[in-house]
Amino acid sequence: MTAQTLLLGQTLQFTADPFHAPLAEAVRHERRGGVLIEGGRITAVGSGDDLRAGYPQAEVVDHGDHLLSAGFVDAHVHYPQTGMIASWGKRLIDWLNTYTFPEEGRFGDPTYAAEIAARYFDLMLAHGTTSCCSFTTVHPESVEAFFTEALQRNLRVVAGKTCMDRNAPDFLTDTPQSAYDQSKALAEKWHGQGRLSYAITPRFSPTSTPEQLQALGALWGERPDLLMQTHLSEQTDEIDWVRGLFPERRDYLDTYEHFGLLREGGLYGHAIHLTPREKARLKEMDAALIHCPTSNTFIGSGIFDMKGLTEGGHRIGLATDTGGGSSFSMLRTMAAAYEIGQLNGAPLHAAQLWWLATQGSARALRIDNHIGNLAAGHEADIIVVDLASTPAISQRSTRAEDFWEALFPTIMMGDDRAIRASYVAGKKV
């Protein structure tokens, strides 16, 4: 018989989307709850006392008053930018040329790529993130390093070779044919291995010729089981650049749509300055928009319209955008999303923020049937969160009159000190 483990603590489950259902219907919180794990999966969630009585043979791990939650899901990162996160003072295009491209040039070295992949996953897990979707670099070696390390750790992750054939240094460019060939070969090797998924990855329209976009669109047509990730409408000067490079296209989104790079399974990072047509088409195709709030403020990109887009029924995930974002922490990312909501006249409830960082992001990546919630049958990617991790947070949470008031200080002021443990497929890491 497979060994059973029973985790005890406060539990937080989502039973509906809190953007579209009343709080009482969307969330189930147990003050003294339990999560039963067997064979790397969650087999039951409920009252801790009931589970303890019903499964007396289970090994019990009591986390006291700490919160048991699904691990955070970071829907848009650049793991090669780990080493140059928090680089000062540039807008997007200058930031890429000054910091990003020189660093990404190092990832043709398999040893360096493996070193940074291991460092990134260490930092990710320390901050309570158990899954991510990452860009790599133009080098196949960068993909190999990321997936090799993730497979060894049994992580559920998504990644793909970043493709660029113009407006980048020669040492970071490929061609339409090599982008197609290498992406296809990497997908065939890694997609479905363990808990790994492949995403076709044109960086963004300015760094791909029409020929490359067409080649990658053709590949997606051949492999509709894959995801596709890119960037969209991050900054106004970027949009002007795209307009000059693609004068025949209707808008930024059309530079993808025309070449077969718009449909369900598409992940469009930032999506700040969208036209009405773009919003309508993204919704019609059920594509995912990925909100990167710390990046949007750090690089001065703009304010994401969470209220309008959620009311419009869009599929939305949340992300750190390492290293354009200024933190590895999804707690800090939730705090930034709250602050941006305030600036836009629509502050988010703690339940909505936590949903975005777990089930919402898993839904955006179309892996919410595997992870993102404490639910029977889901893979046991679980974090243990201390809701009194610092003196400042502790003194505020002790005044709380309900669970949400106790949780919110950790969202606004928490960091890796709040993460007491991370479980990946049921194993503490």
Dihedral sign for Cα atoms in the order 337, 314, 275, 271: positive
Burial of 284 from C-beta contacts in 10 A (0-12 / 13-18 / 19+): exposed
pLDDT at 358: 98
E strand or H helix at 190, and its extent? helix 176-190
Report the percentage of the chain scoring pLDDT > 90.
Answer: 93
Distance between CA atoms of residues 136 and 79, nearest Å: 6
Task: Categorize the per-residue pLDDT at 87 as very low, low, confident or very high, splitting at 50, 70 and 90.
Answer: confident
Residue 428 — φ and ψ, nearest 5°?
-70, 135
pLDDT of 270 strictly over 80: yes
Q: Please, what CATH class does the domain formed by 4-71+372-428 belong to?
A: mainly beta
pLDDT of 230 strictly over 90: yes
Distance between CA atoms of residues 306 and 291, nearest Å: 8
What mean pLDDT comes out for the span 216-227?
98
pLDDT at 94: 81
Domain residue spans in the chain?
A: 4-71+372-428, 72-364
Task: Check if the beta carbon of residue 291 is closer than 8 Å to that of residue 260.
Answer: no
Better-scored residue on pLDDT, 300 or 58: 58
Task: Check if the beta carbon of residue 272 is closer than 8 Å to that of residue 300.
Answer: no
Q: Are strands 41-47 and 27-38 parallel, antiparallel or unpaired?
A: antiparallel
Please tell me whether residue 286 adopts helix, strand or coil conformation.
coil
Measured CA to CA in angstroms, residue 175 lies from 108, 163, 214 at distances of 16, 8, 12
Task: Tell me what the pLDDT averaged over the chain comes to.
Answer: 96
- Cross-strand pairs, 200: 228
pLDDT (tens digit per residue) in 12-52 = 999 999 999 999 999 999 999 999 999 999 999 999 999 99
Please tell me whether residue 35 adopts helix, strand or coil conformation.
strand
Burial of 256 from C-beta contacts in 10 A (0-12 / 13-18 / 19+): buried
pLDDT at 93: 75
Domains 4-71+372-428 and 72-364 share a fold: no
pLDDT at 1: 52
Task: Check if the beta carbon of residue 293 is closer than 8 Å to that of residue 338.
Answer: no
pLDDT of 282 strictly over 90: yes
Q: Please, what CATH class does the domain formed by 72-364 belong to?
A: alpha beta
What is the token pair recorded at 32? 């003294």
Task: Check if the beta carbon of residue 193 is closer than 8 Å to that of residue 144.
Answer: no
- DSSP symbols for 342-388: HHTT-PPPHHHHHHIIIIIHHHHTT-TTTSSS--TTSB--EEEE-TT
Task: Categorize the per-residue pLDDT at 312 as very low, low, confident or very high, splitting at 50, 70 and 90.
Answer: very high
pLDDT at 330: 98
Closest CA to 73 of 341, 315, 280, 382: 382
What mean pLDDT comes out for the span 110-136?
98
The residue type at 364: A
Task: Check if the beta carbon of residue 133 is closer than 8 Å to that of residue 159.
Answer: yes
How many other CB atoms are found less than 10 A from the CB of residue 98? 14
Better-scored residue on pLDDT, 285 or 85: 285
Task: Check if the beta carbon of residue 177 is closer than 8 Å to that of residue 219.
Answer: no
